Each structure stands twice: as structure tokens, then as C-alpha cells.
Amino acid sequence: MALLFYPGDETPICTRQMCSVRDRWEDYAATGAEVVGISTNTVDSHKSFAEHHDLPLRLLADVDRKVADIYGAQSLIPGKVARSVFVIDADGIIRHRDVRPLGLFRPKDDDVIDAIRKAQT
């Protein structure tokens, strides 16, 4: 499983990040891993964002940041989650962790896909 935390729907960097995942969806899907996007936006916001950009991944609404807090995805921006990637293996062990408290740069898809594959070996 790959958890992709991002600060917000319809923001410039986040939109590029999620659209990049969409554009590489075949590569993500080929890993067999479930890939989930997570932000503090609401379910309605996620629905609109996913429809607007034709996003194939499930988006989780972590409006109270409970999931982000559990994983340590704290942002320096109040009320937001840090742009982060967590890859979890079949035994529930976190095999890859990339937390970016400012989130100005998005993770590279090749790095995330590679981390998913490594977690499966």
C-alpha cells in the first residue's frame, strides 16, 4: 500500500502531483499495490477534485488530521498535512517514508513506484 499525503485539492503543486500519478497510473497499478491520496479536504472537495482531473486513485478525507498525526505527516502550514509518501508492506510494516513539512517539491513517481516494488520483495 502507498499512502500519498498532500496539502490540498486544487492547489498548484498538489494538482500536478495527483495528475502525475494519474498519468503514470498503469505503472502504479502494475505493482498491485493500493495507492491512496490523503489530505485534510472534505469528501465533497475530493469528489470534485477527482472528477475534475479524472483521478483514478481513492482519496481519503482526513479533515481532523488523525491519520496524518498517526503517520507523522505534520506540515509547517497550520491545518494542512505534509506532502509525504508512506509505503507499507503486506505485513503492515512501513518500508518507505518521505515526509516534506514544507511540501514545495513533490515526490517523483519513479521513486514512489520503486519504493513500492522494493517493499514487495
Q: How far apart are alpha carbons 121 and 119 in whole angstroms?
A: 6
14 is catalytic: yes
The H helix count followed by the E strand count for the chain is 5, 5
Q: How far apart are alpha carbons 95 and 115 in whole angstroms?
A: 8
Which residue among the candidates 2, 3, 14, 81 is catalytic per the annotation? 14
Q: How far apart are alpha carbons 62 and 68 in whole angstroms?
A: 7
Other C-beta atoms closer than 10 Å to the C-beta of 76 total: 10
Cβ-in-10-Å burial (0-12, 13-18, 19+) of 59 comes to: buried
Catalogue the active-site residues. Answer: 14
